[in-house]
Structure 1
Amino acid sequence: MIKRLTLTSAALAALLALAACGDQPQEISGSGVKQDGAPYTGVGKSQYAQGGWTTGDKTSWEQQLKARAQYGQNDYVRVGAQPK
């Protein structure tokens, strides 16, 4: 009885171990990898676009990023305190 239980357990373990070998490769079908565009190209006309930035203009994009970092994310400027 115990010998049969051990044999059944071993066979079940071997079956589970071999089941992992049956995994199929997962590949994306289609034309390939989609490349993103440059961030300053934008998404076209949008009501959520920041004013003063023109779509496709890298210089105005960089100026908007600098302004946002300076006035929106710099706590010293927002509060009016000077850094120590």
Structure 2
Amino acid sequence: MKRLAILVCVTAAFTALSACGEKPQTLGSGARSDTAAFQGTDNAFAAPGWTKGDKASWEQGLKARAQNSQNEYTKTGTSK
């Protein structure tokens, strides 16, 4: 019985201390938040028709996205 109580206490202590071993969470490599959004990205996942650094094409893409994919009235065919 005494051995079981010690085992439970040791297990509880290890469980409580396991939370102290969490690794710090930092941003990955090269994520910069001090540039404007239209300045671009260096990966292949950019929208087609958009040129990096062109603010006008960025705004045009935002307007098209808002109208075509985020407007529920155009999706359902009803008008407001």
Q: Give the TM-score normalised by the residue count of structure 1.
A: 0.53
Instruction: Select 1:51's aligned residue among 28, 48, 52.
Output: 48
Could you tell me how far 1:79 is from its partner in structure 2? Answer: 1.2
Q: Which amino acid aligns with 2:45?
A: Y
**Long gaps (5+) in structure 2:** 1-31
Deviation at 1:47, TM superposition (A): 2.4
| Matching residue of 2:39 | 41
Deviation at 1:62, TM superposition (A): 0.3
1:68 partner letter? R
Hey, what does 2:57 align to over in structure 1? Answer: 60
Larger radius of gyration: 1
Structure 1 position 74 matched with structure 2 position 71: yes
Deviation at 1:78, TM superposition (A): 1.1
State how many pairs are aligned.
49
* CA spacing shift, 1:82–1:56, aligned 2, 3 Å: same
Q: Which runs of 5+ in 1 are unaligned?
A: 1-33
The separation in 2 between residues aligned to 1:50 and 1:36, in whole angstroms, is 21
- The aligned amino acid for 1:82 is S
Tell me: CA distance 1:73–1:41, structure 2 relative to 1, closer, same or farther (3 Å): same
Q: TM-score, normalised by structure 2?
A: 0.56
SS of the residue corresponding to residue 81 of structure 1 reads coil
Using the aligned pairs only, state the percent identity: 49
